[in-house]
Amino acid sequence: MTKKSELYKCNICGNLVEVIKSGEGELVCCGEAMELIKPQIHEDEKYEHHIPVIIEHEDCNEIQVGKKPHPMENEHYIEFVEVYTKDNKKILRHYFNPKEEPSIKIPKCFDIGKAIAMCNIHGLWEKP
Same domain, 50 and 30: no
Q: Where are the beta strands (DSSP E) in the chain?
A: 7-9, 16-18, 28-29, 32-33, 35-37, 52-56, 60-65, 78-85, 91-95, 103-107, 112-119, 123-126
Model confidence, pTM: 0.89
Same domain, 90 and 117: yes
Q: What is the mean pLDDT of the chain?
A: 93
Same domain, 25 and 69: no
Tens of pLDDT, residues 7-53? 999 999 999 999 999 999 999 999 999 999 999 987 777 778 899 99
For 68, the domain range is 45-126
